[in-house]
Amino acid sequence: MEHLWRKLLAVLFVIGLLAGCASEGEEETGSSDQEADQTEEAGEDSGFPLTLTDAMDNEITIEEEPDRIISTIPSNGEILFALGLNEEVVGVSDFANYPEEATEKETIGGQDLNVEKILSLEPDVVLAHASGAHTSQEALQQIRDAGIAVYVVQDASSFDAVYDSIETIGDITGTSDKASAIVSDMQEELTAIEEKAAAIAEEDQKDVFVEVAPEPEIYTGGQGTFLNEMLTTIQAENVAGDQEGWFKMNNEAIVELQPDVIITTYGYYTEDPKGSVLSRDGWDTVPAIKDEQVYDVHSDLVTRPGPRLTEGVQELAEAVYPDVFSE
């Protein structure tokens, strides 16, 4: 932006010279002052400089709309690309896989950030994430010490929190209107799903168990996770919903829950997850096994806090209630 100001001042200088050829010096000054006032007003409307507090209670000031942005986690990257910032994104996480443009960007590490690589890309802003900020404190501080703004995005665990994250990233990148439009679209899509699910009679509602990691260590999500909110949205009961967060369960405990449907979320890296679940020893009494109601939903759609979450709800709904949602 600094170079833009220099260009603007140069333009104003030329305008002043041209005006001097056609009018008195006093009129020239008035013309230049008017142009300067208009430029100043435009700067006031841009939203920058922007000061805000991140998820780690750090106060950050972003002086001007960033031209070069790095995302350290896939969800932040998805939000940036949804905001139309393909050209501005210069670095992404090693695990960034969506959209296709993300796989063509420079990678800056996964759980361990490559500080040297980040600094070499000369970003204006680095978008970190609260889920990994505690283990990356030293790396993030090195980036701050280099004079680069670092904003730690909250670890959202609800739709409302995701909406907030999208709008905040929109503010940081000067794309607030686009962010608001994305949030509005997501809310409309979620409302449409809720309205469809409202027609499901109580006696027809399913008990569901969701596996986010396979044997030998089976993990699931309880209260305070997207999965729980998604199941509630589609009028399904999370059989593990009496516990908090993400946790591990053993086979015996899952069998006791007697779910009607089992959802896996790891088919993209595990061969035949449905067959694996159906063939487990001692699970033959589980309704989901007897009726072969085991389905795989892509993990990124139901656990990644970004614009595709409503796609995840739809896919989950189609798996649990195909007669209602597959029309």
DSSP assignment of 243-288? SBSEEEE-HHHHHHH--SEEEE--TTTSS-HHHHHHT-TT-TTSHH
- The set of residues, in sequence order, having a beta carbon less than 8 Å from that of 21 and lying 6+ positions away, is none
Mean pLDDT, the chain, rounded, equals 88
Q: What are the tens digits of pLDDT across the range 267-317?
A: 988 889 999 999 999 999 999 999 999 999 999 999 899 999 999 999 999
Beta-bridge mates of residue 107:
92
Q: Are residues 172 and 234 in the same domain?
A: no
Q: Are residues 224 and 143 in the same domain?
A: no
Q: What is the pLDDT of residues 25-40, one digit of tens each?
A: 444 444 444 444 443 4
For 27, 238, 254, the CA distances from 210, given in Å and listed in that order, are: 74, 8, 10
Give domain status of residue 209, yes or no. yes
Average pLDDT over residues 101-125: 96
Pair (207, 159) in one structural domain: no
Q: What is the mean pLDDT of residues 122-145?
A: 95
Q: What is the pLDDT of residues 246-271, one digit of tens each?
A: 999 999 999 999 999 999 999 988 88
* Closest by Cα among 163, 146, 184, 160 to 70: 146
Let me know if residue 10 belongs to a domain. Answer: no
CATH code of residue 236: 3.40.50.1980
Query: Are residues 97 and 56 part of one domain?
Result: yes
User: Going by DSSP bridges, is the β-strand pair 294-296/261-264 parallel, antiparallel, or unpaired?
Assistant: parallel
Residues 54, 83, single domain; the answer is yes
261 with 206: CB under 8 angstroms?
A: yes
Q: Which of 141, 156, 182 finishes a domain?
A: 182
Beta-carbon neighbour count of residue 111 at 10 Å? Answer: 13
Same domain, 251 and 307: yes
133 Cβ contact list (under 8 Å, min separation 6)? 55, 56, 140, 152
Same domain, 267 and 170: no
Question: Is residue 66 one of the residues assigned to a domain?
Answer: yes
Per-residue pLDDT averaged across 94-111, rounded? 96
Would 247 be classed as within a structural domain?
A: yes
Percent of the chain with pLDDT over 70: 86
* pTM for this prediction: 0.84
- For residues 261 and 309, membership in a common domain is answered with yes
In a domain, 36, yes or no: no
Compute the distance between CA of residue 130 and CA of residue 149 in angstroms, rounded to an integer: 16
Q: What is the pLDDT of residues 161-212, one digit of tens each?
A: 999 999 999 999 999 999 999 999 999 999 999 999 999 999 999 999 999 9
Tokens encoding 318: 């189609």
Start-end of H helices in the chain: 2-22, 25-44, 74-82, 115-120, 130-133, 137-145, 159-172, 176-197, 226-233, 251-257, 273-278, 287-290, 299-303, 309-320, 322-325
Q: Give how many domains the chain has, as a whole number.
A: 2
Among the listed residues 239, 234, 227, 228, the one whose alpha carbon sits nearest the alpha carbon of residue 200: 234
In the chain, % of residues over pLDDT 90? 80
Cβ proximity of 222 and 228 under 8 Å: yes
Does residue 20 form part of some domain? no
CA distance 70 to 48: 19
Determine the average pLDDT of the residues in 114-132: 96
Q: How confident is the model at residue 111 (pLDDT cuts 50, 70, 90)?
A: confident
Could you tell me the residue range of the domain that residue 129 belongs to?
50-182
Predicted pLDDT at 46? 66
Specify the higher pLDDT residue, 226 or 166: 166
Answer yes or no: do 56 and 149 share one domain.
yes
Same domain for 79 and 127, yes or no, is yes
| pLDDT classification of 45: cutoffs 50, 70, 90 | low
| 134 — pLDDT class (breaks 50, 70, 90) | confident
- Same domain, yes or no, for 163 and 226? no
Q: Is 39 among the domain residues?
A: no
Residue 214 counted as domain residue: yes
- pLDDT-derived band of residue 327, with 50, 70 and 90 as boundaries? low
Cis peptide before 49 (omega within 30 of 0): yes
CB neighbour list of residue 101: distance below 8 Å, 6 or more residues apart: 81, 86
The one-letter amino acid at 4 = L
Segment 171-184, tens digit of pLDDT = 999 999 999 999 99
